[in-house]
Amino acid sequence: MTSATSFDQYLRTRRTQIDAALDSVLPAPPTCPPLIAEAMRYTVFAGGKRIRPILALAAAEAVMEDQSTDLCSHADLSRVMTGACAVELVHTYSLVHDDLPAMDDDSLRRGRPTAHVVFGEGIAILAGDALLTQAFIILAQNKPTDPPDAEHRRVRTIARVAEAAGAGGMVGGQVLDLAATGTGTGDEGALRDIHERKTGALINAAAVSGAILAGGSLATVEAIDAYATHLGLAFQIVDDILDVVGTTDELGKTAGKDATDCKPTYPSIYGIDHSRLLAAEAVAASRAELATAGLGGRLAEIADWVVSRTR
């Protein structure tokens, strides 16, 4: 996949590859009961942007380019793809649980009824649990083509993804989000803390995992970490904006729900125009991190896409 390939084509190709890989790593009968297999696949293959696994693969490409290796060999792709899939499984688990009546109480996700609407709350909870644990099952597996230091890379990746998913990351962010729901108030510091944990932590882990699994140096991993921190903030600010200006059909989920639930958001604190400015500033900061580190590939285009997306 060369630099001449259009970004849209790049995204389509990566999504196709990721979907095929996800299909191969999900459990199926007789390994597990048919109902849980169906519930897991229902949410994983409901659609979605696949931005997190794409980000993992793009970060790996940037590392490989920086090290003057072949960007797109099959071995390089397969080495990182498992980590990319694991991050997507963790993300999907979080959506299943966030949509539950006890959490955000959403009935629509990616244009389809949410898992608890289709399968009931009990199976939805178990499907989320199964997706989370499956992520770490596949991350821990050895491959015959792994390089000598693969185990060390996997352990670092497991630690980073687990940290992003746990009490200091997504779980903690959801706790803060639940506490803020109904208040309609807040300041940027509190709001940013929610976003950095609930959304930013896994976006950051996705990019860093790709860099680690591709064998990036400590300095390169740190640069991608900084890039992804700014990117995660931009992504969530845009999400807040789209909840205000988008429609349910466009977003594939219930539009205007943040306002209905009286959640503090960037638009509620700063307004739409200033929120767009803050998102643009975060993207500019993410691109600056790449430029300082001399990293190429698709990461800058992903940053631009995040701030210009409409869903």
Query: Tens of pLDDT along 272-287?
Result: 999 999 999 999 999 9
Query: Per-residue confidence at 248, pLDDT binned at 50, 70, 90?
Result: confident
Pick the residue with more confidence: 67 or 65? 65
- Give the E-state strand segments of the chain in sequence order: 108-109, 112-113
pLDDT tens-place string over residues 149-202: 889 999 999 999 999 999 999 999 999 988 888 776 667 788 889 999 999 999
- 63-72, 169-178, 227-236: lowest mean pLDDT where? 63-72
CA-CA distance, 107 to 109, in Å (whole number)?
7
CA-CA distance, 5 to 13, in Å (whole number)?
10
3-state secondary structure of 113: strand
Residue with tokens 């940037």: 62
Residue 72 has pLDDT above 50, yes or no: no
Angle at 114 between CA 108 and CA 115, to 5 degrees: 180
- 35-49, 141-155, 161-175: lowest mean pLDDT where? 141-155
Query: Which pLDDT belongs to residue 310?
Result: 78
Percent of the chain residues past pLDDT 90, beyond the cut = 70
- Of the candidates 106, 44, 101, 103, the one whose C-alpha atom is nearest the C-alpha of residue 253 is 106
Q: Is the pTM of this model over 0.95?
A: no
Residue 70 has pLDDT above 50, yes or no: no
CA-CA distance, 269 to 64, in Å (whole number)?
41
Residue 125 has pLDDT above 80, yes or no: yes
Query: 115 burial class (0-12, 13-18, 19+ CB within 10 angstroms)?
Result: buried
Average pLDDT, the chain: 90
Percent of the chain residues past pLDDT 70, beyond the cut = 93
- Of the candidates 51, 5, 89, 65, the one whose C-alpha atom is nearest the C-alpha of residue 214 is 65
Tokens found for residue 98: 């966030």
Residue 68 has pLDDT above 60, yes or no: no
Residue 90 has pLDDT above 90, yes or no: yes
> Helices then strands (H, E): number in the chain?
16, 2
Query: Which pLDDT belongs to residue 36?
Result: 98
Chain centroid offset of residue 221 CA: 18
Residue 249 has pLDDT above 60, yes or no: yes
Q: How many other CB atoms sit within 10 Å of the CB of residue 133?
A: 11
User: In the CATH scheme, what is the code of domain 7-308?
Assistant: 1.10.600.10
